[in-house]
Amino acid sequence: MLKDITFGQYIERHSPIHKMDPRAKLMLLILMIVFLFLSHGFAGLSLFVILLFAGIALSKIPLKMFLRNLKAIWIILVFTAVINLFYGSGGVLLVSFWKIHIYSEGVKRAVFMALRIMLLIMLSSLLTYTTTPNDLTDGIESLLSPLRFVGLKNAVHTLAMMMTIALRFIPTLVEETEKIMNAQKARGADLEDGKLLDRIRALIPILIPLLISSIRRAYELAEAMECRCYNGGEGRVRMKRLHYGKVDLFAAITCVFVCVGIILANYYINF
Amino acid sequence: MDNIIEIQNIGFEYDDGERKKTVLENLSLNIERGSFTVILGHNGSGKSTLAKLMNGLNKPNSGKVLVDGMDTADTETEIEIKRRVGMVFQNPDNQLVASIVEEDVAFGPENLGLSPEESRARVDEALKAVGMYEFRQKSPHHLSGGQKQRIAIAGVIAMKPECIVLDEPTAMLDPKGRAEILKTILKLNREHHITIVLITHFMEEAEQADRVLVLHKGAILADAAPKTVFNQVDMLKQVGLDVPQTTELLFQLRSGGADISTDVLSVEDTAETIARCFFLEEN
Amino acid sequence: MAKIIEVENLTYAYGDGSAFVHDAISDLSFSIEKGEILGIIGHTGSGKSTLVQQLNGLLKPTSGRVLFDGKDIWENPKEIRKVRFQIGLVFQYPEYQLFEETVFADIAFGPKNMGLSGDELTERVKEICSVIGIPESYFETSPFDLSGGEKRRVAIAGVMAMRPQVLILDEPIAGLDPKGRRDVVNMVAEYRKAYDATVLIISHNMEDMAMLADKLLVLNDGKLLMYDETRNVFSKPEVLREAGLNVPIVTRVFEELKAKGYDVPTDIFTVDEAVTYLSNRKAGGSRA
């Protein structure tokens, strides 16, 4: 539920993957995605499959949670596969009717593309299932911090502050929306039926009070932040420091092996 | 006398674009270090404006506000003044910044540029002072109103302030939450020696204060010890204040001709007063 | 007297696991007589809000029934909106639901949803405002320019304009100053008198309850703890205290007097009763 965005998709477990530094997880995920797209063939992908299943097993999160995320994008998967089915023209001609010709190369390509997207989604899930949005925010802020040397210091801090406040206030606003909806329903507002235009019009009694209250909240929050010596992030030192640990090192080495494996597979195994 | 806050002949106008409205006029007031002052006043009496003047969130149009001798109009000492005079507001939801309790409490220390170790120590200490240490990893939206307000107070004490100004901190809470906050405030004043300025429209909360001020239409109508102020029930009711039932009872008995004082608030003291007036002569 | 609302074995469970902030209800049965003022009390999280949202069909019971005038309100789920016109619910801090450009338009929102229009709609708004004392000079002002107490009254008028037979108010006077509170209490009394309505009030304030309510319904952790006349409920302070509630302050003063050894009754619940009792006693002069 949206109300519990503080924990987002996070699933609490005690596992080495959960213990990893969010920065390490983010960087390694990006590295893996790059190599996923550099990989030419099934040999390379099989390395990712091994890596992914090792990760899932270590995370102690049931496989079906990962498959659930795939269900949400099945249309994209089917679409990608079908488009690619007609694309290649190498190999054996398998099907031919009217103007449509499907070659074995096309089938291979379709499976490859679909598998690649599945791996992408499942690897990303491994990050979001094992990292709280708060840790992710801290990780992103920390990773972007080198930008301050090119004059973007405020941008990085502002972005992080925005994410923090969003995480803090989304549950509050969701609750408030529910309250206002109920209050207007108690006055007979009809939010479920009617034509599209009527339904859009029915949103006004909800959106206006919500907007007014959000502005009031923003104003009060700004004052409260000022009272707590907030100065646009000037001279701010975070209490929580991120630390790389042994797990991060192991994970990094494993991923480097996978990368080397991909390069070798791309050169020597043509499958 | 050692004053933490000195307000000298200030005036404050509120300008909403169309018309100017005078909120405070020629008001002077000192807050003694270590004291517990309650400011009573109904909605629109200027009490919130006065609160925000005490740490420089509002700047007076005329006159001066000094915090430990520093002028709030001076931009150089702005941050230091806000550190020394912390503020807690009415709506607990709108003053918490982070979605993890301890990270929220750390917000002030982080802004002050303290080392992570120092921030950590202060956060733990502040959470223990308000009795919320076990909740440090929780998300604020899973807490009750009273608990959220205690987190807000912890966020202020983590800056090690000299004084805390609380602007109607209990207005949105249920009776249990109100009791929690009052207990916390008393503890901070008595044990941690933090100067407290509590703004409220509940007379009950004024009972334990050293000094009670009644604000009406931007002026100070009364400034005395709680007992003295509570004896002026007519005036309190006239300025639209909430009179507790104990006071109301004593007041009506007095209006009915009984020779009884109205300067007590607690149930025990009221019973004692009634017993003395009504039952002793029966013996 | 006739029963207007009957609640049978009402149970509501929040199934989404976020029960932390919500309050469930289990197996409640009671009935409300037409025309009475019922107070609903209980600590935060005891189920008060969940209960009243089921009475007007905003929440559908997990099991059990709510009968209005002898008919199950969920008999025809498509008609549930009509139930809300009969059983009006005013939420806590209702001024936050104001949204129209003028006071008139905001009060007219409910009646308009009932299908009223034109002169009929205008008449309806005018009538309710004259009954509860909102002057017509307010009609064209923006609700956002009003003071806090006035906003509250306009918001409550918006529910009253649907002319519900049962009016439920959740903490209607919370956060108001004494004048604002008096105004709201008066408008509810005027409404009740004019339309012979049944009124349900949720409040934390026992002193107000002692003054206003004929009967009290006490909830504790989603269960019915007591349901009786106000005097009888306040005569059981130990039960109330166990549920995290208390008797009115004036009653506590008399309990204290009794503890000190004076022979006084403890069934005094309002300031007026206390003043009358003490004055009579003084006039009588003797210690019983």
Measured CA to CA, the distance from residue A234 to residue B243 in angstroms comes to 47
The residues, ordered by sequence, that sit 6+ positions from B128 with a Cβ below 8 Å of its Cβ are none
Amino acid, res. B119: S
**Of C97, C144, C162, Cβ closest to residue A184:** C97
Domain that holds residue B271: 244-283
Whether residue B24 is found in the same domain as residue B116: yes
**Could you tell me the CATH number of the domain that includes residue B138?**
3.40.50.300
Q: Which pLDDT score, from 0 to 100, does residue C23 have?
A: 65
Task: Assess C178–B contact: CB distance below 8 Å, yes or no.
Answer: yes
Q: What is the DSSP letter of C247?
A: -
> How distant is the Cα of C272 from the closest Cα of chain B, in angstroms?
8
The torsion region of residue B17 among left (phi > 0), alpha (psi -120 to 50) and beta comes to left
Q: How many domains does chain A have?
A: 1
Of C120 and A160, which is predicted with more confidence? Answer: C120
Q: Is pLDDT above 80 for A88?
A: no
First to last CA, chain A: 43
Establish if B238 belongs to a structural domain: no
Establish if B113 belongs to a structural domain: yes
Q: Using a CB-CB distance cutoff of 8 angstroms, which residues of chain C are in contact with residue B282?
A: 285-287
Measured CA to CA, the distance from residue C281 to residue C288 in angstroms comes to 9
Contact B53, B213 (CB under 8 A): no
Domain that holds residue A83: 2-143+256-268
Q: How many domains does chain B have?
A: 2
CATH match of C3-247 with 3.30.365.10: no
Establish if A261 belongs to a structural domain: yes
Of A100 and C250, which is predicted with more confidence? Answer: C250
The predicted model gives A99-111 an average pLDDT of 81
Q: Which pLDDT score, from 0 to 100, does residue A102 have?
A: 78
Interface test with A, best of B111, B127, B165 (most A CBs within 10 A): B111
Nearest CA in chain A to C98: A209
Picking from C134, C139, C191, the residue whose alpha carbon sits closest to that of residue C165 is C191
Whether residue B84 is found in the same domain as residue B157: yes
Q: Do C109 and A213 touch (CB under 8 A)?
A: no
Q: Is pLDDT above 80 for A95?
A: no
Q: Note the Cα A35 to chain centre separation in Å.
A: 18
Interface residues on B facing C, Cβ-Cβ cutoff 8 A = 42-44, 141-142, 144-145, 171-172, 174-177, 201, 237, 240-246, 248-249, 252-253, 256, 258, 267-268, 270-272, 274-275, 278-279, 282-283
The residues, ordered by sequence, that sit 6+ positions from C39 with a Cβ below 8 Å of its Cβ are C200, C201, C202, C203, C209, C212, C213, C215, C216, C217, C230
Strand C37-41 to strand C215-220: parallel, antiparallel, or no bridges (unpaired)?
parallel
Determine whether B283 is exposed, middle or buried from the number of CB atoms within 10 Å of its CB (0-12, 13-18, 19+): exposed
Q: Using a CB-CB distance cutoff of 8 angstroms, which residues of chain A are in contact with residue C18?
A: 1, 3-4
Q: Is pLDDT above 80 for A271?
A: no
Picking from B280, B201, B248, the residue whose alpha carbon sits closest to that of residue C249 is B248
Q: Using a CB-CB distance cutoff of 8 angstroms, which residues of chain B are in contact with residue C256?
A: 267-268, 270-271
Q: Which pLDDT score, from 0 to 100, does residue B1 have?
A: 62
Establish if A8 belongs to a structural domain: yes
Q: Tell me if residue C228 falls in helix, strand or coil.
A: strand
Q: Is pLDDT above 60 for A154?
A: yes
Task: Assess A208–C contact: CB distance below 8 Å, yes or no.
Answer: yes
Establish if A23 belongs to a structural domain: yes
Amino acid, res. B117: E
The torsion region of residue B265 among left (phi > 0), alpha (psi -120 to 50) and beta comes to alpha
Q: Which pLDDT score, from 0 to 100, does residue C20 have?
A: 45
Q: Which pLDDT score, from 0 to 100, does residue B164 have?
A: 97
Strand B3-15 to strand B20-32: parallel, antiparallel, or no bridges (unpaired)?
antiparallel
Picking from B165, B169, B212, B225, the residue whose alpha carbon sits closest to that of residue B189 is B165
Q: Using a CB-CB distance cutoff of 8 angstroms, which residues of chain A are in contact with residue B82?
A: 226-229
Q: Which pLDDT score, from 0 to 100, does residue A82 have?
A: 85
Q: Which pLDDT score, from 0 to 100, does residue C118 have?
A: 92
> How distant is the Cα of B62 from the closest Cα of chain C, in angstroms?
28
Instruction: Name the token pair of B128.
Output: 């223990």
Q: Which pLDDT score, from 0 to 100, does residue A80 have?
A: 87
Residue with tokens 């609750």: A175
Instruction: Name the token pair of B186.
Output: 């008393």
Task: Assess C19–B contact: CB distance below 8 Å, yes or no.
Answer: no
Residue pLDDT, tens place only, A245-259: 888 998 999 998 888
How many Cβ contacts (< 8 angstroms) between chains A and B? 103
Measured CA to CA, the distance from residue A157 to residue A149 in angstroms comes to 13
Q: What is the mean pLDDT of chain C?
A: 91
Where are the alpha helices (H) located in chain A, listed in sequence order? 16-19, 22-38, 42-59, 63-71, 74-85, 104-130, 133-144, 153-186, 196-202, 204-227, 246-268
Domain segments of chain C as ranges:
3-247, 248-288
Q: Which pLDDT score, from 0 to 100, does residue C285 have?
A: 55
Q: Is pLDDT above 90 for C69?
A: yes
Q: How many CA atoms lie within 13 A of C171 on its CB side?
A: 20
Q: Is pLDDT above 80 for B283?
A: no
Q: Which residue(s) pair with B282 in the sheet?
A: none
Whether residue B267 is found in the same domain as residue B217: no
Q: Do A187 and C162 touch (CB under 8 A)?
A: yes
Q: What is the DSSP letter of B201?
A: S
The torsion region of residue C286 among left (phi > 0), alpha (psi -120 to 50) and beta comes to beta
> How distant is the Cα of B112 from the closest Cα of chain C, in angstroms?
34
Whether residue B220 is found in the same domain as residue B253: no
Q: Do A190 and C113 touch (CB under 8 A)?
A: yes
Number of H helices, E strands in chain C: 11, 10
Q: Is pLDDT above 70 for A75?
A: yes
What would you report as the CA-atom Rg of chain A, rounded to the nearest whole angstrom?
Answer: 24
Establish if B232 belongs to a structural domain: no
* Residue B19 binned pLDDT confidence (cut-offs 50, 70, 90): confident
Q: Is pLDDT above 80 for B79?
A: yes
Q: Which pLDDT score, from 0 to 100, does residue A269 have?
A: 77
Q: Tell me if residue B140 falls in helix, strand or coil.
A: helix
Residue pLDDT, tens place only, C226-263: 999 999 999 999 999 999 899 999 999 999 999 998 99
Whether residue B35 is found in the same domain as residue B68: yes
Residue pLDDT, tens place only, B212-238: 999 998 899 999 999 899 889 899 988
The torsion region of residue C163 among left (phi > 0), alpha (psi -120 to 50) and beta comes to left
The predicted model gives A127-148 an average pLDDT of 85
Amino acid, res. A173: L
Residue pLDDT, tens place only, C175-207: 888 888 899 999 999 999 999 999 999 999 999
Contact C25, C54 (CB under 8 A): yes
Residue pLDDT, tens place only, B36-78: 999 998 877 889 999 999 999 999 999 999 999 999 999 999 9
Q: Is pLDDT above 50 for C19?
A: no
Q: Do C179 and B248 touch (CB under 8 A)?
A: no
Q: Do A172 and B83 touch (CB under 8 A)?
A: no
Q: Which pLDDT score, from 0 to 100, does residue C196 have?
A: 94
Interface test with A, best of C16, C59, C97, C154 (most A CBs within 10 A): C97
Amino acid, res. A1: M
Nearest CA in chain C to A212: C96
Whether residue B188 is found in the same domain as residue B279: no
Determine whether C16 is exposed, middle or buried from the number of CB atoms within 10 Å of its CB (0-12, 13-18, 19+): exposed
Measured CA to CA, the distance from residue C201 to residue C216 in angstroms comes to 9
Complex ipTM, two decimals?
Answer: 0.91
Determine whether B187 is exposed, middle or buried from the number of CB atoms within 10 Å of its CB (0-12, 13-18, 19+): middle
* Residue C286 binned pLDDT confidence (cut-offs 50, 70, 90): very low
Establish if A233 belongs to a structural domain: no
Q: Which pLDDT score, from 0 to 100, does residue A7 have?
A: 56
* Residue B102 binned pLDDT confidence (cut-offs 50, 70, 90): very high
> How distant is the Cα of A155 from the closest Cα of chain C, in angstroms?
34
Establish if A25 belongs to a structural domain: yes
Whether residue B83 is found in the same domain as residue B52: yes
Whether residue B53 is found in the same domain as residue B184: yes
Q: Which pLDDT score, from 0 to 100, does residue A190 have?
A: 84
Q: What is the DSSP letter of C102?
A: S
**Of B144, B249, B282, Cβ closest to residue C250:** B249
Q: Which pLDDT score, from 0 to 100, does residue C17 have?
A: 46
Instruction: Name the token pair of B66.
Output: 């000094």
Amino acid, res. B107: F
Whether residue B55 is found in the same domain as residue B132: yes
**Of C91, C97, C114, Cβ closest to residue A188:** C114
**Of C91, C98, C114, Cβ closest to residue A186:** C91
